[in-house]
Structure 1
Amino acid sequence: MSYPFEHGDETLWDAGYRSGRLYHALAEGAAGVLDVPSGLTHTPQGSCAVDREVFRVFTGRLYDLYASTRNEMLRELGHSVLVTSLVLLDRVGGQVAVSPRDAAALDEAKAAYARSMAR
C-alpha cells in the first residue's frame, strides 16, 4: 500500500503508506508552527495533492526557520521535513532561495533522499 504525493497527474513521490503519512503529519505540524498552510491535502483516493505555490511558500518558510536558528535541536527536528520538502519542490518545478553556506549540504542531503523517494 502506498501514499502517493501528486501534482495534477504527476506522481512526485510514491511513498510507502506509513512513511508518506508520517511526512504529511510532520509537514502539517511544521506548518502549524510556522502559521502557514503546507500546500499538502489528503485526497479521498488515499493520496496527497501538492499545491505548488502554497507548498513553495511553506518550504521557504521552513528553510528560513532552519537557516535562522542556532538551536541545534530545532535544526535537527526540521531537517528531514525540510529535505523531503525540497525534493518534492524540485519535482514539482519549484525552488526556494538557499544560502550559499547551506547549499552544498542540502544538495547532498536532497540527492540522498531523492534516491530513496521512488516516483
Structure 2
Amino acid sequence: MSYPFEFDHETVWDAGYHSGQLYASLAQGAAGFLDVPSGLTPTPQGGCAVDREEFQTLVERLYGLYVSTSSEVLRELAHGLLVTSLVLLDRVGGTIALRPEDAAHLSEAKSTLAGSMAS
C-alpha cells in the first residue's frame, strides 16, 4: 500500500503508506508551528496533492528555521523534514535559495535521499 504525493495529476513521490502518512503529519505540524499553510491537501485516494506555491513557502520557512537556530536539537529535528521537503519541492518544479555554506551539504543529503523516494 502506498501514499502518493501528486502534482498536476502526476505522482511525484509514491511513498510507502507509513512513510507518507508520517511525512504529511510532520509537514502539517511544522506548517502550524511556522504559521503557514503546508501546501499538502489529502486526496480521496489516500495521498496528498501538492500546491507548489504554498509548499515552497513552507520549505522556505523551514529552511529559515534550520539556519537561524542555535539549538542543535531543533536543527536536527528540522533537518530530516527539510531534506525530504527539498526533494519533493524539486519534483514539483519549485526551488528555494540556499546559503553557500549549506548548499553542498543539503544537495548531497537530497541526492542520497531522492534515490529512496520512488516516483
TM-score in terms of structure 1 length: 0.98
1:9-47 deviations in whole A, cap 9, x for unaligned?
Answer: 211100000000000000011101100010001111111
Aligned to 2:97: 97
Matches within 5 A, 1:13-28: 13-28=13-28
Specify the alignment match of 1:39 in structure 2: 39
CA distance in 2 between partners of 1:80 and 1:23 (Å): 10
Matched residue pairs, number? 119
Task: Name the % identity.
Answer: 68
Task: Give, in angstroms, the shift of residue 110 of structure 1.
Answer: 0.1
**Following TM superposition, where does structure 1 have runs of at least 4 consecutive aligned residues deviating by more than 4 angstroms?**
none
Aligned to 2:78: 78
Q: Structure 2: how far apart are the matches of 1:13 and 1:49?
A: 11
1:30 maps onto 2:30 in alignment: yes
Report the residue type matching 1:73 in the other structure: V
Output the amino acid matched with 2:47. Answer: S
Structure 2 unaligned segments of length 5 or more: list them: none
What does residue 64 of structure 2 align with? 64
Q: Which letter does structure 2 place at the counterpart of 1:13? A: W
- In structure 2, distance between residues paired with 1:52 and 1:96: 12
Give the superposition deviation at 1:82: 0.4
